[in-house]
C-alpha cells in the first residue's frame, strides 16, 4: 500500500478541466493511451490497479468509454461539478478542432497521401492500445483470483472478442459473470480467514 502515499490529486476543477483538455488534444486515434500515461505515470493521480478498475467500469457502462472515465474521475474529486469539468475538458476543445476540420475540408481528403497518412496513424494507434494492455498486466499481480485464473479469463475473452468475433455483450456475460463470481468467493474466503486469525 506504499504506492498510495505517493499519489497526487487534481488541485481544482480548473486543473481537472485543463488536464483533460490537454490529454484529449494529444489523443489521435483514441485517448486511452494518453490518459493512462498522463494520469497514472506522470501526474500520478491513480495507480495502475485503480486505472484498471475504473476502466473496467467505464467499459461496462453504456456510453463512450473515455467520457465515462473522465466523468468518474472528475466526480470522485469534486462531485457533480468535477464530473462536468472532466467531461467538458475531454470534449470541448476537440469538438472545436473537429468542427473546424469539417468546415475546412468537408470530410477526409481522398488524396492518396492523406489516405496513406491515416493508414499509418491507424497502425500506430493500434500499437498504443496494445501497449496499454501490456502495461496493465502488472496490475493483476495482487488480484485475489490468482494468476492461473486471470490468465485463463484473459485468454477466453481474447478468443471470444478477438478471434471468434462474438459481440462484446455475449463475451462479457460469459467470462464476466464467472470472473465476478470467482472473485467474490476468493474475497469472501480471504475475509473469513482474516477474521479467523487474530
Partner 1 sequence: MNPVLQLSVQDWLSLFSHFASLSLLAVGGAITTAPDMHRYLVDETHWLSESQFTSSIALAQSAPGPNILFVALMGFNVGLNAAAGLGGGWFSAALASLGVLLAMLGIMLPSSILTYTATRWAHQHRDKLGIRAFKSGMAPIVIALLLSTAWLLTISHNQPARDWPLYVLTAVTTLVVWRTRVHMLWLIGLGALLGGLGWV
* Residues 133-172 interacting with partner 1 (rule: CB under 8 A): 133-137, 139-140, 143-145, 150-151, 153-158, 161-162, 165, 168-169, 172
Residue 197 Cβ vs partner 1, minimum distance, rounded to whole Å: 19
* Interface pick for partner 1 out of 11, 14, 116, 173 (rule CB under 8 A): 116
* Interface pick for partner 1 out of 16, 34, 39, 88 (rule CB under 8 A): 34
List, in order, residues 6 or more apart from 147 with CB less than 8 Å away. Answer: 140
Q: How far apart are CA 111 and CA 117, in angstroms?
A: 10
Could you count the other beta carbons within 10 Å of the beta carbon of residue 87?
A: 21
Residue 193 engages partner 1 in binding (rule: CB under 8 A): no
Q: How far apart are CA 105 and CA 115, in angstroms?
A: 14
Q: How far apart are CA 24 and CA 32, in angstroms?
A: 9
Residue 161 Cβ vs partner 1, minimum distance, rounded to whole Å: 4
Residue 7 engages partner 1 in binding (rule: CB under 8 A): no
Asked if 47 contacts 138 with a C-beta cutoff of 8 angstroms, the reply is no
Residue 52 engages partner 1 in binding (rule: CB under 8 A): yes
CA-to-CA dists, residue 76 to 71, 86, 98, angstroms: 9, 11, 29
For residue 112, give the C-alpha cell.
492518396
Residue 153 Cβ vs partner 1, minimum distance, rounded to whole Å: 5
* Residue whose CB is less far from partner 1, 18 or 75: 75
Residue 128 Cβ vs partner 1, minimum distance, rounded to whole Å: 6
Segment 62-91, which members bind partner 1 (CB under 8 A)?
A: 62-68, 71-72, 75-76, 80, 83, 87, 90-91
Specify the 3-state DSSP secondary structure of 14: helix
Amino acid at each position: 500500500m506504499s504506492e498510495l502515499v505517493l499519489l497526487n490529486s487534481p488541485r481544482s476543477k480548473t486543473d481537472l478541466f485543463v488536464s483533460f483538455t490537454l490529454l484529449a488534444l494529444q489523443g489521435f486515434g483514441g485517448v486511452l493511451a494518453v490518459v493512462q500515461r498522463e494520469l497514472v505515470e506522470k501526474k500520478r493521480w491513480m495507480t495502475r490497479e485503480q486505472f484498471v478498475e475504473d476502466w473496467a467500469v467505464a467499459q461496462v457502462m453504456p456510453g463512450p468509454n473515455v467520457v465515462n472515465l473522465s466523468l468518474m474521475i472528475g466526480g470522485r474529486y469534486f462531485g457533480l461539478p468535477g464530473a462536468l469539468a472532466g467531461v467538458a475538458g475531454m470534449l470541448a476543445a476537440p469538438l472545436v478542432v473537429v468542427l473546424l476540420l469539417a468546415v475546412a475540408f468537408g470530410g477526409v481528403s481522398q488524396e492518396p497521401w492523406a489516405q496513406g497518412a491515416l493508414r499509418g496513424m491507424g497502425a500506430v494507434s493500434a500499437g498504443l492500445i496494445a501497449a496499454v494492455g501490456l502495461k496493465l498486466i502488472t496490475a493483476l499481480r495482487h488480484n485475489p483470483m490468482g494468476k492461473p485464473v486471470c490468465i485463463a479469463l484473459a485468454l477466453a475473452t481474447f478468443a471470444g472478442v478477438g478471434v471468434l468475433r462474438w459481440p462484446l455483450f455475449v463475451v462479457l456475460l460469459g467470462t464476466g459473470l464467472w470472473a465476478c463470481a470467482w472473485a467474490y468467493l476468493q474475497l469472501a474466503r480471504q475475509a473469513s480467514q482474516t477474521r479467523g486469525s487474530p
